[in-house]
Structure 1
Amino acid sequence: MPISIQLKLSNPADFQLMSRGETHYVAALQTKPGELLALQQACAETWAGLTPILEVLGPRSPGSQPFSRARVNGWIGRLAKAVGTHPIYLDRLRLAPDHPAESPGGPIPVLAAIHAAARRRQIVFVPVLHLGDATATQRQVAESAAVDGRGLALRVPLLDTAVAGGRSFPSLIQETLNAVEVEVVGADLLMDLRQLPDDAEVRVDDLASMVDALVSIGQWRNVVLLGTAMPMSLGGGVVDAGTIGRRRRTEWLVWLALRRSRVSRVPIYGDYAIQNPDPPLDAADGQIPLGMRAAIRYTHETVTIIPRAKAPRHEEGREQYRQLCKLLVEQPEFAGREFSWGDREVADCADGTCEPGWEDHWRGAGTSHHLRFVVNQLAGLA
């Protein structure tokens, strides 16, 4: 049954997040400290070509009690500090949208609490709805779309197209848009490949056919293709300890091939920056295994350069990151100290003018470089 909501007078189709069209960039980022710091330090030129998807990362063990107002406000306060007035997509990760959260009027779904907190902070956001979300979640996203007048984004798992009940994939998408009473011209389509395994061959013609089928639903406001080749872990032979690995940026190469194909509408390029779609292990939760080794991920044209420490993290501590920085600045691909905040951190750590941080800091430095690099890379195609 459609959800009856009084829409705001503004037209969602007129709200634009992508100032550079096909050569704009969408990065799916978790609300981890490093990624938020990278956004906070991003220069105006980077923001001009970037629209991030911010995934509010919930706790690994949420329990059954409502999230406190202070906790939700803390999540959104840190996010607001990072993005300022820049428009974003607002999503969630490892967070059940119907988990209760405190409010002055009693418990409400945490997704509704997140949207309300973001609104109070004057964050310019487009809410993200996942294909297959429950009716209650659809209602929460529909309410935000109605209140703010910016439409919504529908996130679709592109390689998982099995649909129950004999319905086609496009028909399920249209049913979802009908349920939230948002027309396709006021919606963004986020097609998500997630991780592309090393042994998976993506046939560009087949991918183009899938994109064409979803684009044919109507005149989407924006169409985005997300993906990454970055695995969850660098162990197991992905990058040997004590070496400098180079991982192919398969998601970038696939998008370039799709751009050259006969696809009816070239999607905007999107990725997961330097991380896997799933949350990383967290030292604060005691999840870091003793054998874990430090690494820094550094984006270049078609590869990610990854210097990885020889000894385990617990033996050498933060100092091993200084050695990795020294290795990185010696590589011909190093863009120089002035390229981004992340590059300055690498250079300063290498020459001893600052102390090395832990994982979150270097996650932020690598993300900072990546965002600037990809925005420049796309601008070069215009």
Structure 2
Amino acid sequence: MSHVTNEGPPPLRTVATTTYFPALKGKLGEMQALKNLTPVQRAATIPILDLPIDDSADSSEIAVAIDKFGSKLGQYYDATNYVIVDATMTDRSGTDGTERVSQLHRCLADDLAAVPVVTLSSSPDFVAAVAAIAVGDGNGVCIRLSREDYANIAQLPTELAGVLNALKLPASAVDLVIDVGYLDANSIATNSALIPLIIPTLPHLSQWRNLVLLSGAFPVGLSNLIAYVPQRFLRYDAELWNRVAATARTSRVPRFGDYATSHPLPGAPVARRSAPNLRYTTGNEWYCLRSDLDKVLANQTYYEICKQLRDETSRILLPESFSWGDSQIRRCASSTGGPGGAMNWKAWATSHHLTAVIENLASTGAP
């Protein structure tokens, strides 16, 4: 994405030819970012949402969380495309574990087209429940592969064929997601070599509805940053896709998916009060800032880091018309309105990131 050097209009919007699969946590901040996508951007995006449930949640808590999530998603995402919803964490959660995924899709059916997820380790009962959902809704299924799944390349085709057979679906009704997880400087070389070896071995390679390469490179947190000192982190997830795409031309180039401005794994519980932070996607990196914990100014220190981003000599901050998130960051840079809180900062960062990736894919074919 090129930097804008004036306050003029953003680049002309174009219809994306490459669909983007952002994997989001399914919490309110990410929901708000999705809500504020334009119709053209929604048409270019298929979100992968994790059901926001703690690992320690019991059956009754899961039921409540499903009802809450189901009602919120319909309110916040006017989906042009379908939405992939990963509820595999409810598998084996109790005697009614498979009923929970059915409950979820009953909640979602009136508002949007939701695609359930299975993994190679899903229980037979869970796979059967998802197969029944697919028959009833007609939206297909997503199979999400982890590193453990594709580590054994020789066994992967057989295991995939087994799940596909149990689902009783053709590959053309299935989105196959290769989820690499977290990437850093040490792991990108290994995965850049491994993924191009895996793709040609996949059964029904040309038939999957979508083949997606998903990874995330955002750090687990920003608490180690020095207040008001910018830190840049490389987007290794985008770099991985670029490398794989360059070597997969003769087989099948996967769609791009990332974890936006979040670490792929749930982090440690956040302190009740944490310093305001800013995560801004620019080119092949994230520009990150955090303020300090000021007892007097409190969250108003967010204004200061927004001003710092705005006043960078490289003119990183894009015009407010680029995305809803950019309009909110520029508003805060002018100390206008409220500074928001952690949920808002995540929503604004995610909004800018989603727009930046969609625009990159539309204009260059790369993220």
TM-score, with length taken from structure 1: 0.83
- The DSSP-based 3-state class of the residue aligned with 2:188 is coil
Could you say if the C-alpha distance between residues 213 and 280 of structure 1 is closer, same or farther in structure 2, counting changes exceeding 3 Å?
same
Q: Which residue of 2 aligns with 1:4?
A: none
Instruction: Please state if 1:225 is matched with 2:213.
Output: yes
1:275 to 262, 265, 268: 262
Counterpart residue identity of residue 118, structure 1? L
**Distance apart, 1:160 and its partner CA:** 4.9
Identity %: 26
Q: Aligned-pair RMSD on alpha carbons? A: 2.6
Q: Which residue of 1 aligns with 2:362?
A: 379
Q: Which residue of 2 aligns with 1:141?
A: 130
Could you say if the C-alpha distance between residues 158 and 61 of structure 1 is closer, same or farther in structure 2, counting changes exceeding 3 Å?
closer
Counterpart residue identity of residue 228, structure 1? G
2: CA distance between counterparts of 1:117 and 1:61? 23
Counterpart residue identity of residue 256, structure 1? N
- The DSSP-based 3-state class of the residue aligned with 2:130 is helix
Instruction: Kindly report which structure 2 residues correspond to 1:32-181, keeping only aligned pairs within 5 A, or say none.
Output: 32-59=27-54, 61-65=56-60, 67-68=62-63, 71-92=65-86, 95-99=89-93, 109-119=99-109, 121-158=110-147, 160-162=149-151, 168-181=155-168
Aligned length: 347
Instruction: Kindly report which structure 2 residues correspond to 1:363-378, keeping only aligned pairs within 5 A, or say none.
Output: 363-378=346-361
- The DSSP-based 3-state class of the residue aligned with 1:202 is helix
2: CA distance between counterparts of 1:313 and 1:232? 23
- The DSSP-based 3-state class of the residue aligned with 2:277 is coil
CA distances 1:27-80 after superposition (whole Å, capped 9, x unpaired): 011111110001111112211211111211113531354645x64322111111
Instruction: Please state if 1:306 is matched with 2:288.
Output: yes
Q: Which residue of 2 aligns with 1:244?
A: 230
Could you say if the C-alpha distance between residues 233 and 66 of structure 1 is closer, same or farther in structure 2, counting changes exceeding 3 Å?
closer
1: CA distance between counterparts of 2:28 and 2:294? 20
2: CA distance between counterparts of 1:39 and 1:143? 28
Counterpart residue identity of residue 123, structure 2? A
Residue segments in structure 1 that go unaligned for 5+ positions in a row:
1-18
Counterpart residue identity of residue 28, structure 2? P
CA distances 1:342-378 after superposition (whole Å, capped 9, x unpaired): 0011011111221111111010000000111100000
Residue segments in structure 2 that go unaligned for 5+ positions in a row:
1-14
TM-score, with length taken from structure 2: 0.86
**Are the aligned partners of 1:87 and 1:125 in contact in 2 as well (CA < 8 Å)?**
no
CA distances 1:296-337 after superposition (whole Å, capped 9, x unpaired): 11111100110122x247775211211111112123111111
2:317 to 334, 338, 360: 334
**Distance apart, 1:186 and its partner CA:** 1.6
Q: Which residue of 2 aligns with 1:16?
A: none
CA distances 1:170-207 after superposition (whole Å, capped 9, x unpaired): 11011011111112122111111111133223243432
Could you say if the C-alpha distance between residues 51 and 183 of structure 1 is closer, same or farther in structure 2, counting changes exceeding 3 Å?
same
Q: Which residue of 2 aligns with 1:6?
A: none
Instruction: Kindly report which structure 2 residues correspond to 1:6-21, keeping only aligned pairs within 5 A, or say none.
Output: 20=16
